[in-house]
Structures are given as structure tokens and as C-alpha cells.
């Protein structure tokens, strides 16, 4: 059995941005020769989030627009009395900062259109993504 911890870094370029990190995760799985097991992907940040969905340009705009509409960056949030990013903390709290996926036959168990997406909510920033693996 392998227990493995690794990290990758992702640089965002916008305040709110959907970034496809599937390729980096798949490369890591191949490099480390993970065959079967459980993969945990975690962003150790309070203003970024991880989700799984389609990475289609229209949908990416829809996700970004929805986040702005729901979590209004210039809203009257209490946290904005001491910081300027309450919207980012709120969206991160709702979406969550980690995902757990299965690895089967050296591949992540994702559907045809599913990608692993980091959503930057208060960029641009350099973000750390922790990757854990338990398996063979």
C-alpha cells in the first residue's frame, strides 16, 4: 500500500477564475504510478475552492457570473469591515475546499465531461493544492 502526499501550485490571474487542473493531477498519478486507490485533492485556503464539472467556456462564464451574483463582491458583508474578500470566504464555505476521487487502473474515475476545477475567488494569487493518495 502507498500513502503519498504531494502538492502542486497554481497561479491565478484574475480575481474570480475557474482553472482546469485535471492535467496536472493526471500527470502526478502517472509519474507516481498510482494504480488503484483513493485520491484527496485539497486547497488549504479560505478563499479558493475545488469542484468537479465541465470546463466549457460558456459554463465557465456562467459559474463566474453566478458566483458574482450570489456572493456580491461589493456586498455589505461584516467581514469587509476588516478585509475586502467576504464574498470569497462565503463562496468557498458553500462549495468546499476538497474533493475525494477514486483511482482505477491508473486513471482518475471521472466522467467524459468531468474536470477537476480550482475556483479562485480572491486572486490573482499563487495557490497550493495538496494531493493525498492511499492505495497501490
> Of 49-57, 62-70, 79-87, 96-104, which segment contacts Zn ion by CB under 5 A?
79-87
Does position 85 interact with Zn ion (CB under 5 A)? The reply is: yes
Cα distances (angstroms) measured from residue 117 to each of 43, 60, 80: 11, 10, 27
Closer to Zn ion by Cβ: residue 36 or 93: 93
83 binds Zn ion (CB under 5 A): yes
Contact 117, 64 (CB under 8 A): no
**Ranges within 1-60 binding Zn ion (CB under 5 A):** none
Give the binding-site size for Zn ion (rule: CB under 5 A).
2
Residues forming the site for Zn ion (CB under 5 A): 83, 85
Amino acid at each position: 500500500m502507498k500513502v503519498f502526499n504531494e502538492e502542486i501550485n497554481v497561479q491565478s490571474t484574475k480575481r474570480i477564475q475557474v482553472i482546469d487542473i485535471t492535467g496536472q493531477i493526471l500527470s502526478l498519478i502517472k509519474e507516481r504510478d498510482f494504480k488503484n486507490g483513493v485520491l484527496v485533492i485539497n486547497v488549504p485556503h479560505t478563499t479558493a475552492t475545488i469542484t468537479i464539472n465541465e470546463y466549457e467556456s460558456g459554463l465557465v462564464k456562467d459559474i463566474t457570473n453566478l458566483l458574482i451574483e450570489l456572493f456580491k463582491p461589493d456586498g455589505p458583508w461584516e467581514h469587509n469591515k476588516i478585509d475586502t474578500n467576504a464574498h470569497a470566504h462565503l463562496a468557498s464555505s458553500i462549495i468546499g475546499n476538497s474533493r475525494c476521487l477514486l483511482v482505477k487502473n491508473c486513471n482518475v474515475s471521472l466522467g467524459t465531461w468531468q474536470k477537476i476545477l480550482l475556483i479562485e475567488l480572491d486572486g490573482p494569487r499563487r495557490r497550493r493544492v495538496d494531493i493525498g493518495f492511499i492505495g497501490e
